[in-house]
Amino acid sequence: MSQSMFPKLAEDYAKFKRYVKWLYTLYELNTQIAICEPWEKVFLNVLLGSFVSLILYASFAFVPGYCVTVFQLLWPQTSVQNLTSVCSTSTEGFCANESGSVIT
């Protein structure tokens, strides 16, 4: 029974590789990267990857806080806990459990 599974798995893997190659070719043709030299392809792919990663980071770092703020503005009568604050402030105005600087 397990002998017949490996050829099927190899076939599925080959299909998946062909599909990924097809998607990459489609990406190259749609973005006109196919006509570039190899070093230009690397540069443009790195540039595009940087843009996408910056957009993803910004959306995960800042959008939740904005959503909480909008929610508090739209429904002020509800007691919504401040989800962006990670500590309770002490008398000096500093976080009591702060161990270092926070990026966001």
- The whole-number average pLDDT for the span 1-23 is 88
Which pLDDT score, from 0 to 100, does residue 5 have?
77
Greatest mean pLDDT among 42-56, 58-72, 79-93 lies in 42-56
Q: What is the pLDDT of residue 57?
A: 93
Neighbours of 28 (CB within 10 A): 16
Contacting residues for 45 by C-beta, under 8 A, at least 6 apart: 33
Helix (H, G, I), strand (E, B) or coil at 95: strand
In the chain, the N- to C-terminal Cα span, in Å, equals 53
Model confidence at 1: pLDDT above 60: no
CB contact set of 36 (below 8 Å; sequence gap of 6+)? 44
pTM above 0.85, yes or no: no
